Amino acid sequence: MTKNPSTSSGIEIKAVYSREDVSAPDNSRPGEFPFTRGIHPSMYRGKLWTMRQYAGFGSAKDTNARYHFLLQQGITGLSVAFDLPTQMGRDPDHALARGEVGRVGVSIASVEDMETLLSGIPLEDVSISMTINATAATLLAFLLVVAERRGVAWSKLRGTTQNDILKEYIARGTYIYPPRPALRLVTDLFSFCSRNVPQWNTISVSGYHIREAGSTAVEEVAFTLANGIAYLEAAAARGLAVDEVAPRVAFFFNCHNNFLEEVAKFRAARRLWAQIVGERFKAKDPKSMMLRFHTQTAGSSLTAQQPHSNVVRTTLQALAAVFGGTQSLHTNGFDEALGLPTEESARIALRTQQIIADESGVAASADPLGGSYLVESWTDSIEQGARARIEKIDAMGGMLAAIEQRYPQGEIENSSYLAQRAVESGENKVVGVNVFREGDELQPEILAIDPAVERAQSERTVALRASRDASRASAALQSLAAGAAGGGDLTALTVECARASCTVGEISDALRSVFGEYHGS
């Protein structure tokens, strides 16, 4: 006898749903607490989601050209992908950076690189999201100094630094320092931006990478919101009021293949976060309780086999994100299981969003699946499952303690194993992989990074160090290290380092000299 089908989170899928499957109907309207149905009363009738395309490769000049191409194609926000050396605080000429410069993102070693990256981009008009965590304050400092040099007031800048270091220990691995000093860097950036960069989103709490590592939808919600709780608690310990910090906290979720589960996931996450911030943190400002989120379609769902089929997967995922009420969206290129997206695949990915927005009609009404017995039932189930896991984390002493005890890591690893086993057994079907396979397949053109990019970027960085005011750079780095050892404002001190043309590696090394490095448990 075949077992009953279920979602990734183990929610049993009934053959039909009715009113009896919805425990307590949510009669709120969009724009009303607990925001299950969306954070704005009219949702996309008033303003469409921001259409972002995550991009970065090779040199700053290469990526700047891609940004101008995407802006011409109609994107409404930039999203910067950085290479691994930049994420890990290593300069391009460092031995550990060899072979990785410009490979999975753009290489940004200095404020001069950031100037090139953003050349011709109107900073006061274009929202900029930066997927950067361990070195988040450094890359934001580079952006702020570029704005200064252009005469653009920091108060006019709009965008987001991901700055979510906890998920790095859970799921992704691009951490540098031990968790507790790393959390200090996060809250320093909160404090600095609240005073100096008021429109900037100081953190994007990311469930995306948790899901990419193999979590279920319920685990993605639970661990992401538990990280959000940890950040608000750390901010409170710094003396920052919840209504000062929470409105600048954004979230970043994955959108996977089970269309209806993903819609329910977003609704559950909004409702649960509103209740947490209102009840646990006693927020008064409704904006503090609004879960605003960016969505990226699921990179881990893309297949190298029959890659053009990924256009369909991405379309379904993007549509689920829109039905779920996302505030911004990135759609993956069909070729990303093979390499970085080409201009062609990036254009198709963007056109996917534009067709959904302008031709499908789904943006005309807020929460169009609200009231569906199935969606309401699954919303309840995901909320309950996520709440139970958050309560378990609370009992452990909070997310930092849970990470140190490897609770979320272990849960994700187990879910990932079970999902892979289901694919290999054929229980979960993946078109082109374990069903409807073909023989020899034509592969699309792949974007290749010229090794000369690494040599040129290393030479530029060496030349920068030789040409700058060496005494000013040295003094700025010494001040940063002293601030780390004491109670200094590390974001402000990092901005001074950026003004002195210090590099990502030098700034990170100054902090390493005090905080040390973390090598996992």
On whether the CB atoms of residues 80 and 117 are closer than 8 A, the answer is yes
User: What distance in Å separates the CA atoms of residue 519 and residue 183, rounded to the nearest whole number?
Assistant: 16
Q: What is the DSSP letter of 213?
A: T
Structure tokens at 280: 């646990």
Q: Is the pLDDT of residue 476 over 70?
A: yes
Mean pLDDT of the 164-179 span? 96
Q: Is the pLDDT of residue 167 over 50?
A: yes
State the burial class of residue 421 (Cβ atoms within 10 Å of its Cβ: 0-12, 13-18, 19+): exposed
pLDDT at position 354, please? Answer: 98
Asked if the bond preceding 122 is cis, omega within 30° of 0, the reply is no
pLDDT at position 521, please? Answer: 61
3 — pLDDT class (breaks 50, 70, 90):
low
User: What distance in Å separates the CA atoms of residue 357 and residue 322, rounded to the nearest whole number?
Assistant: 9
Full-model pTM: 0.95
**3-state secondary structure labels for all residues of 383-434:** HHHHHHHHHHHHHHCCHHHHHHCCHHHHHHHHHHHHHHHHHHHCCCCCECCC
4 — pLDDT class (breaks 50, 70, 90):
confident
445 — pLDDT class (breaks 50, 70, 90):
confident
Structure tokens at 128: 């900029």
Tens of pLDDT, residues 80-91: 999 999 999 999
3-state SS assignment for residue 448? coil
Mean pLDDT of the 63-75 span? 95
On whether the CB atoms of residues 185 and 132 are closer than 8 A, the answer is no
User: Of all helices (H) and strands (E), which one includes residue 171?
Assistant: none
Pairing assessment for the beta strands 249-255 and 127-131 based on DSSP bridges: unpaired
Tens of pLDDT, residues 483-521: 999 999 999 999 999 999 999 999 999 999 999 999 876
Query: Beta-strand (E) ranges in 56-144?
Result: 77-81, 127-131
